[in-house]
């Protein structure tokens, strides 16, 4: 296998900690009693039937999070119809607090080695709000950010990955694609990208795997 020269990352779950991991912060931000949020997704799939339905492709990831958004809004007596409502209230005060330290370390190593950096997200601005990027200075280090919020092309549609390879002017085999959803990983594999399925329960190991594919 050839050594790749570009690191292509999903955002939610890969760069930022998942909302499953930050229930305590969310409860504090929304003045909810501790333990109010019980859904745990990949951290306790047996206790989260809605997550299981998403993994079976019965609902989309957007459907999952829209349902959770409405539920949390109801807990504080508000009608939330967009994921942005949830994320802004839960994470708006300090977005850098939810960025994975393992990501920052991997970013430093990849950048020092001269690797190109890109993000391929299905809902970066949709979930986080258009001003979120300006509050995360490290995003300026990415040569390309492709967000289906604006393109309308969701992973694993092959066109989404083509936007990355065309934008970076690289063949798929030169890209290491990292995502926490298997369907998106399989989509990248079908185009010939080198891939890492990001295990949100073991972020350090997942990033080490990606760095090895970059020859680092």
Alpha-carbon distance values, 98 to 15, 104, 151, 174, 209 (Å)? 9, 12, 26, 29, 22
* Cα separation, 111 vs 77, whole angstroms: 45
Rg of the chain (C-alpha set): 17
Over the stretch 149-172, which tens digit does the pLDDT of each residue have? Answer: 999 999 999 999 999 999 999 999
145 token code pair: 């950010």
The model's pLDDT over 64-112, given as tens digits with 9 standing for 90+, comes to 999 999 999 999 999 999 888 898 888 766 778 889 999 999 999 999 9
For CA atoms 103, 56, 79, 29, give the dihedral sign: negative
Percent of the chain at pLDDT exceeding 70: 98
Residue 92 confidence (pLDDT):
65
The answer to whether 172 and 196 have CB atoms below 8 angstroms apart is no
**Domains in the chain, CATH or no CATH each:** 6-16+99-213 (3.40.50.1000), 23-94 (no CATH)
Work out the end-to-end distance of the chain between its first and last CA atoms, rounded to an integer number of angstroms. Answer: 14
Containing 194, the helix (H) or strand (E) segment is strand 194-197
From edge to edge, which strands make up the β-sheet containing 144-147? 144-147, 116-121, 6-9, 175-179, 194-197
């Amino acid at each position: 296998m050839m050594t790749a020269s570009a690191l292509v990352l999903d955002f939610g779950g890969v760069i930022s900690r998942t909302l499953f991991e930050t229930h305590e912060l969310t409860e504090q931000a929304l003045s909810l009693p501790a333990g109010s949020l019980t859904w745990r997704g990949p951290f306790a799939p047996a206790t989260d039937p809605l997550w299981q339905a998403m993994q079976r492709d019965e609902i989309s990831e957007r459907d999952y999070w829209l349902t959770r958004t409405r539920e949390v809004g109801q807990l504080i007596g508000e009608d939330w119809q967009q994921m942005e409502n949830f994320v802004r209230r839960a994470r708006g005060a300090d977005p850098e607090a939810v960025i994975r330290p393992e990501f920052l370390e991997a970013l430093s190593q990849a950048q020092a080695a001269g690797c190109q950096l890109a993000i391929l997200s299905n809902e970066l601005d949709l979930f986080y709000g258009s001003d979120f990027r300006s509050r995360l200075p490290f995003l300026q280090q990415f040569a390309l950010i492709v967000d289906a919020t604006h393109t309308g092309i969701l992973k694993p549609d092959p066109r989404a990955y083509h936007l990355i390879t065309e934008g970076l002017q690289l063949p798929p085999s030169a890209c290491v694609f990292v995502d926490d959803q298997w369907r998106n990983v399989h989509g990248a594999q079908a185009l010939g990208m080198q891939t890492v399925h990001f295990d949100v329960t073991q972020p350090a190991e997942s990033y080490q795997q990606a760095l090895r594919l970059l020859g680092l």
